[in-house]
Structures are given as structure tokens and as C-alpha cells.
């Protein structure tokens, strides 16, 4: 049984809660958010870029969200604000809030006797809550999750189905963790000995801050000795790999399939594009943007935009480019030899 928080809002109620300047009928009923092109009666739409302005003339939306300088762009009821895209995001949260399960532990869940589960928390079917684990107020643990011994999930966090949190790991307040995420598995620590590998016990934790969102099937390894730390407000997309002892600074975002090797330090407010690769033991400054598929092999000490990807090309052209790249070492040697000869020649003429 669930408690639904979805409802129809009047336009004036939205402005009362979210701010902005309302022009037009405050009583217009709004049920959902839609694009200008697909919107119909009861929909609230938005114009976030000038290239979509032609769609504004033909939209069937009941109301629209506009930048303040677009005040006269339509005669429809409208909300004027500083950033229509951000306003749209907040309106969408308001209109499409998730249903909240009724608190309690499902009969088919297993909760160890010394675990602490707040009375306002929800534990779904097939879950396992380990010894001395703690679930805070209003935490939601959906079906099939495993919370290891002494792990802690702070208040108002939600774990979607089949999330695993290993022993002693911490998840902060208001976290959203999607299906298949694994927090606190062993980092890839091996020591070579006589042609074979000796496993290094991973004794640290994975510590997740407040207001973090982690996408489906992302993995965050526990630290070898110190903790792996994901600071407050970080947003991680699907299928990301975070190695052991990594620290990701507050409010950094990563797109899908990023891989971060062990002991890397990533600053605050960074943006990392999809499929980027970051080698271990490097430090990246605050406010760095790394383009999609970039390979980072050395520290980035200053804010800015960084990229390092050869674009795709027709197969024969690409093969020729690779052949040239392979010949660079030889070319460099020849240039150096020529420079020496020219230098000697210049000295003789003097």
C-alpha cells in the first residue's frame, strides 16, 4: 500500500510555492509538465532556449514558464523567472512527486535483532538488514536490497530495488540510490609476488554524503585503508566505476560510464562527460569540465575545460592517422638530428 503525493495544482499555487511572477489566470489547473510541442490542456510547458521559440506560438499548453525578458512572447498564462530550465525542474518535482510507501517492515524482509530501523522507515520484501545496521527516519529501502552489518542510511534517503550497501558503509541524508548500485565492494588492490597476485584486504569504508544521487548499476569501492568519499550534492549517472580511496568533491556531476581509478581526488563543482577515464593517484582542481571520452593521465591543477579525444573518421582515414601517430617517435628523432646538424652548420659559418 502506498501514499500518493501527486495532485493537480492551480497555477497560483505553483507560484506561491516556487516564486516567480505570474501573468494570467492564477486558477488555471496544471496536472503535469510537457514540452511545448506535445503539451495540451492542463499542461505546464517552458521555453529554455530561443531555438524553441517557434513552438511557443503553436503550443496548446495551459501555461508556460518564460525568462523575464520573454514577457510578451505569448498571450498564454505565464510564469516569469530568472532561469526557466531550473524552474521547470522544481515544478516537475512538485507535480510528479513519487508515491511514498507506508512505513513498516515487510513480512518477507529479514531484519537482524540488533539492527535499528526507525518507525517511520520502510523496508520492502526480500530485503536484508544486517547486525547493528541503522536506518534513519523516513528511509525507504525497496525490494531486494541488502544493508550490511553496521552500515548506516541517514534520514529521507531512498534505495531503489536491489541495492547493496556493504558492512560499515555510510549513506547520508536525502540520498537517491538507483537499482543495482553497489556501495562498498572491495577495491581492486593486489600486490605482485613471484608472478602471481596477493589480495590486499580493503579495510576502509565508502562514505556517501547528503543529497547525493547515484545512477543504476554504478559501483563505488570501499577504501583500502582510508575511506572512499563522495561528498554532498554529487550526482552520478548510470554504470560509473569509482575506485578505492577516491574522493569526489561536493556538487560534482558525472555522466554515464565514467571510470575513476583508485586514490584520485576530484574537486568540487566539476563536470565529467560520459565514458571519461581518469587514471589513479591524480588530483583534479575545482570547477573543471572534462569532455566525454577524455582520458586523464596527469593532474589538472587549474579550472577550465579539458578534452583529449580524436574524433571518429572513415576507416581508411583513421588507419592512416594511426600509422602517422605510430611513426611520431621516429619523426621526432629525425627532427632532433636535423636540428643538431643545422646548429653545427650555423656555428661553422660564424
pLDDT in tens, 252-283: 999 999 999 999 999 999 999 999 999 999 99
Question: Can you give the residue range of the structural domain that contains 322?
Answer: 315-342
Point out which residues pair with 266 in neighbouring strands. 248, 284
Indicate if 254 and 200 belong to the same structural domain: yes
> How many angstroms separate the Cα of 166 from the Cα of each of 4, 89, 149, 284, 329?
31, 33, 7, 28, 48
The active-site residue, picked from 49, 160, 178, 244, is 244
Indicate if 172 and 41 belong to the same structural domain: no
Task: Measure the CA–CA gap between 74 and 51, rounded to whole angstroms.
Answer: 15
106 in active site? no
Residue 90 CA neighbour count, 13 Å, CB half = 14
Total tally of structural domains belonging to the chain? 3
Query: Taking all residues of the chain, what is their mean pLDDT, rounded to a whole number?
Result: 94
Query: Which among 300, 212, 308 is positioned nearest to 254, based on CA atoms?
Result: 212
Indicate if 186 and 294 belong to the same structural domain: yes
The yes-or-no verdict on residue 309 having pLDDT over 90 is no
What pLDDT digit, counting tens, does each position of 56-109 carry? 999 999 999 999 999 999 999 999 999 999 999 999 999 988 888 999 999 999
Task: Measure the CA–CA gap between 41 and 19, rounded to whole angstroms.
Answer: 23
Query: Which among 60, 67, 61 is positioned nearest to 85, based on CA atoms?
Result: 67
Residues present in the chain in total: 350
- Write down the pTM of the prediction: 0.88
Indicate if 167 and 258 belong to the same structural domain: yes
Indicate if 299 and 189 belong to the same structural domain: yes
Amino acid at each position: 500500500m502506498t501514499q500518493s503525493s501527486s495532485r493537480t495544482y492551480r497555477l497560483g499555487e505553483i507560484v506561491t510555492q516556487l516564486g516567480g511572477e505570474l501573468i494570467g489566470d492564477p486558477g488555471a489547473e496544471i496536472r503535469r509538465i510537457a514540452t511545448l510541442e506535445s503539451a495540451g490542456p492542463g499542461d505546464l510547458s517552458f521555453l529554455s532556449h530561443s531555438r524553441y521559440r517557434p513552438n511557443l506560438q503553436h503550443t496548446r499548453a495551459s501555461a508556460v514558464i518564460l525568462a523575464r525578458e520573454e514577457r510578451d512572447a505569448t498571450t498564454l498564462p505565464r510564469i516569469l523567472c530568472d532561469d526557466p530550465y531550473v524552474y521547470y525542474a522544481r515544478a516537475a518535482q512538485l507535480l510528479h512527486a513519487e508515491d511514498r510507501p507506508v512505513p513498516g517492515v515487510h513480512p518477507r524482509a529479514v531484519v537482524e535483532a540488533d539492527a535499528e530501523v526507525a518507525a517511520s522507515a520502510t523496508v520492502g520484501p526480500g530485503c536484508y538488514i544486517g547486525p547493528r545496521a541503522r536506518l534513519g527516519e523516513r528511509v525507504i529501502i525497496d525490494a531486494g536490497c541488502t544493508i550490511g552489518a553496521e552500515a548506516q542510511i541517514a534520514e529521507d534517503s531512498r534505495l531503489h530495488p536491489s541495492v547493496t550497501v556493504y558492512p560499515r558503509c555510510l549513506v547520508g541524508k536525502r540520498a537517491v540510490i538507483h537499482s543495482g548500485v553497489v556501495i562498498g565492494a572491495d577495491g581492486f588492490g593486489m600486490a605482485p609476488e613471484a608472478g602471481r597476485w596477493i589480495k590486499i584486504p580493503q579495510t576502509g569504508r565508502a562514505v556517501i554524503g547528503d543529497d547525493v544521487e547515484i545512477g543504476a548499476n554504478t559501483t563505488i569501492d570501499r577504501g583500502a585503508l582510508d575511506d572512499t568519499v563522495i561528498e554532498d550534492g554529487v550526482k552520478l549517472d548510470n554504470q560509473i566505476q569509482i575506485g578505492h580511496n577516491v574522493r569526489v568533491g561536493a556538487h560534482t556531476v558525472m555522466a554515464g560510464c565514467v571510470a575513476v581509478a583508485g586514490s584520485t581526488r576530484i574537486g568540487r563543482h566539476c563536470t565529467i562527460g560520459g565514458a571519461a577515464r581518469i587514471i589513479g593517484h591524480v588530483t583534479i582542481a575545482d570547477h573543471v569540465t572534462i569532455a566525454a571520452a577524455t582520458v586523464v593521465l596527469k593532474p589538472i591543477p587549474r579550472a577550465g575545460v579539458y578534452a583529449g579525444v580524436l574524433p571518429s573518421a572513415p576507416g581508411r582515414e583513421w588507419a592512416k592517422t594511426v600509422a602517422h601517430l605510430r611513426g611520431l617517435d621516429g619523426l621526432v628523432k629525425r627532427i632532433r638530428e636535423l636540428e643538431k646538424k643545422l646548429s653545427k652548420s650555423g656555428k661553422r659559418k660564424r
